[in-house]
Amino acid sequence: MIGSESSLKRIKMATLGASDVAKVEAWYGQWLEYGVVERGVVSADMARSWGAPASEGRPFALIGPASGEDVYLRAVEIDPVSGFKTLTTWGWAAVEITVSDVDVVMEKLKGSPFKVLGRPRELTSSSPIRAMQVLGPADEVVYLTGNIGDRVASNHPDPKTLIDRIFIMVLAGPDRPALKKFYMDTFNLGDQGDLAFPVGVLSDAQGLPADHVYDLSVLVGSERGNKLELDQYEPQFGERPVTPGQLPPGIAITTFEVESLDSLDVDFISPPAPLYEGYIAATFLGPAGERTELVAKR
């Protein structure tokens, strides 16, 4: 089911908590064809909206794909956080970017500073979807996903360039059914199903057997090619370490565009405010402690 009546339309942005914003610019610019759209410093209103007052005045960079799609990555400076290990804490766990040919991307990334966590492979032996995973400069996990099958049937976007836009955000938590209920009830998202299979990059990061089976759910927004994946983590994993008052390391915030902020049953950290040109925005903390920012056109 596609979320044709969902109040959540699409992914607008993923924000990284990065100790080196310039490195994010450089890596993505040279190797993943993402160019700088804007540079600036975090305003007091933005920091207040995120519940991260110590972010005020910190530099940020907004970068976007060569295709020109208005779906962005934003890096916000944080202090280095000890004890953070990617894919072992609750919250936003990965971004997934659509590519036209994942094997060409793999060749392009040879010699790059991105660490390859998983080489290109099919999801299953008969799947038209072929993906790889890398670790980026903010300890963020990036899935790079190609699809030689029916993109409409699988609700995947058509890439306009070799490496195009984010189309899935991955959220991890200790109670996947509760996460699913919250996001479906709050936004009337479409349900693309529950799955269970081994995930090599997760078991490698978490020190679990290669055949460990992960439960996950896939939800969809109202615009094609916009999905939310929910991953179940085992009880030994927990909250992400964070410097008080700052954004968490790795993927710190996911921003979604919605029809309106008025009728949503969520507790915003601060009242909606005109943080971005043409948009009103507000952020809430979700069931796994994740920061989720919502924007609606004014």
72-124 pLDDT, tens digit each: 999 999 999 999 999 999 999 999 999 999 999 999 999 999 999 999 988 76
Count the neighbouring beta carbons within 10 Å of the beta carbon of residue 53. 12
The arithmetic mean of pLDDT across residues 143-167, rounded, is: 88
Does pLDDT of 195 surpass 80?
yes
What domains lie within the chain, and their CATH numbers? 8-297 (3.10.180.10)
User: Pairing between strand 163-173 and 115-122?
Assistant: unpaired
The reported pTM is 0.95
How far apart CA 242 and CA 139 sit, in angstroms, is 14
Q: Could you read off the pLDDT of 13-62 as tens digits, one per residue?
A: 999 999 999 999 999 999 999 999 999 999 999 999 999 999 999 999 99
Which residue shows structure tokens 């299953």? 124
How far apart CA 231 and CA 176 sit, in angstroms, is 6
pLDDT of residue 125: 64
How far apart CA 91 and CA 68 sit, in angstroms, is 28
Structure tokens at 27: 């890596």
CB-based contacts of 288, cutoff 8 Å, min separation 6 = 90, 91, 171, 172, 173, 174, 179
Radius of gyration, CA atoms only, the chain: 18
The arithmetic mean of pLDDT across residues 220-242, rounded, is: 96
How far apart CA 86 and CA 140 sit, in angstroms, is 7
